[in-house]
A and B are shown apart, each in its own frame.
Chain A
Amino acid sequence: MKIVACIKRVPATETQAKIAANGKGLEPAGVEYMLSFYDEIAVEEAIRTKERVGSGEVIVLTLGPAEARKELVECLAKGADRAILLVDPAWSSRDSLSTAKLLAAKIGELAPDLVFTGRVATDTDSAAVGPMLATLLGRGCVTDVVKLTIEGGGKLKAERESEAGIEMYELALPALITCQKGLNEPRYAGLKGIMAAKKKPVEEVAVQDVPNQIAVETAQLPPARKEGRIVGTGAAAVPALLEALRKEAQVV
């Protein structure tokens, strides 16, 4: 089975965000990067699927700066077979649709049976590229998957978490799955994996520019949280608390 896992290089979770001088995004100075949390689950599921099926190929694909090679190599160390880096000078300002178009063009060439993405990237938090990719590729798609089973005859069973509970789907290959926390526990590379990764190919491809359809006007940090207020203590405080929750906070 040929499998593609799409990944994204994102600012490390503990980054102390600052707004850049142009007011339109994150100040890049001093920022450290990592593989997006949910993409790690996507890569793990891709490798596990190949292991379960017993044969095939796992290709990790990303769109980003040349430095994203590091995150790709990390995935190769965990067990992916090869990597493709779509080198994009405009990566930091790219919108979801143009990202999806560029990825879809490459995935179209590769023609994999199965595509995995994370459910959302931990930086932009839009959860859009996965479903957009599926649409552009004309594939069946289940998002936020927490359990995946490969059935015979090119069929998949996928369970997705929704607010109402677990939804169960059956779909046919080729398909696209976006991965939610709980689907698997990603492995560590280990020394053997890190050594093996050095011999695996990372192909760098220059991308044609695709125009963005949306652009960030201004970026702002969230307002500082207001200080809390203690309305009283014990049961006697309950009416005042309810009043405050209804009128001030408007949450009940």
Chain B
Amino acid sequence: MRTATHAQYTLPRLEHGLELSNDQLAIRDMVREFAVEEVAPLAHEIDENHRFPVETWKRIVELGLPGIPFPEHLGGSDQGTLAYCLAVEEISKVCGSTGLTLAAHVSLGTYPIFAWGGDKLRNAYVPKLIAGEYMGAYGLTEPGAGSDSGGTRTTAVLDGDSYVLNGRKCFCTNANHAGTVIITAVTDKSLGPKGISAFVVPRGIAGYHLEKGEKKLGMRGSDWASLVFEDARIPRDHLLGPEGEGFKTFMKTLEGGRISIGALGLGIAEGAYECALKYAQEREAFGKKLSDQQAVGFKLANMAMECEIGKHLVYHAARLKDAGKSYGKEASMAKLYTSELAMRCTYEAIQIYGGYGYSREYPVERMWRDAKLCTIGEGTSEVQRMIIARSVIGRK
């Protein structure tokens, strides 16, 4: 059944608070309907089977969701970061894995090529990524370099007209289905982080292969794999941005990506809250509804309030990015807060469901396992605190 839409739709757009424009509302409502009708019914099954739902991805592409923040001449709809976050949020309410798939494709797999690819790479790949002909992925993490991505070991050596790649990347979301993977590799070891460069690696080149991803705690319906490079040659012009600026590029990429991971955490938190609210209003104990018991009512009040705070943080960071202002600190705050919020809300939702919450027949335990990704991926909570601290204290 279709969901309700905003009662004050025809009011002019307000620039402050949570008020959304008519286009943003239309996109949110459309994605909400799609999420409830087509994504939610698969959430349990893809989690049980560790299955990436190709059919859902095809529908996401048909609806044009990968193109939301990109300009029309590349096949996008130029609707900005906030509208894109609304799409991630709505999908994540019912299925964290599918929300992650979209966020990783857009923010990590497509945005860097759009932002730093120059005309050639941009025109070659971004339209295909938006049209879903390719899936996008981003390989940063290595077996020995996670939060400390300055410790990257993968190397890229210029040889004639190509770079020769050697090394290994792990936990790379969307990798098995990706047409392009952006990776970071050391081009000059003596320069430390300034000797790291970024590259676009197309699928199917010799010396590049995938290794099956490990089984996961949560987000089991999202795809991941390890990338192995053994003398893999990519054209010289597939260097993304100037040589030695890979570190800068991925820091900037992650900065934007964090807003969408904020939307992911927010969606998971809201999904758990909505489940808990519904259950508490149906289930009775001690002669009255759970929701009428103060202990449960207070939990629901906190969840509702904190989800509202999360929305403010995520939408604010997205609006700053859309306005072309600096948004790094706010993106980290949104990501940190909603990641931990997703943990709290899913934890309390399980508590409200009681034994049923612990059972895999009910969705809240999946949401709890999915939520944990958010405090780790695209910068752990600790890294976010480092960034925020540096920003408020001032870096020497």
Contacts and interface: CB of A to CB of B under 8 A. Distances in A.
Contacts of A15: 4
Contacts of A137: none
Given A66-B10, A70-B10, A195-B77, A12 B34 contact: no
Contact of A190 (B1, B10, B63): B63
Contacts of A195: 72, 77
Interface in B323-380: none
Contacts of A32: 4-7
A37 B68 CA distance: 27
Contacts of B77: 191-192, 194-195
Contacts of A14: 1, 3-4
Contact of A191 (B5, B22, B68): B68
A69 B68 contact: no
A192 B64 contact: yes
Contacts of A198: 23
B26 A194 contact: yes
B30 A34 contact: no
Nearest to B68: A191
Nearest to A71: B5
A12 B9 CA distance: 14
A35 interface: yes
Nearest to A192: B64
B7 A188 contact: no
B310 interface: no
B62 interface: yes
Interface string A156-196: 00000000000000000000000000000000111110110
A34 B9 contact: no
25 contacts: A12-B4, A12-B5, A15-B4, A30-B7, A32-B5, A32-B7, A33-B4, A34-B4, A37-B1, A67-B9, A69-B10, A70-B22, A73-B22, A77-B30, A189-B30, A190-B62, A191-B27, A191-B64, A191-B67, A191-B68, A192-B64, A192-B77, A194-B26, A194-B30, A195-B77
Given A30-B7, A194-B23, 11 more contacts: A12-B2, A14-B3, A14-B4, A33-B5, A34-B2, A34-B5, A40-B2, A190-B62, A190-B64, A191-B67, A192-B64
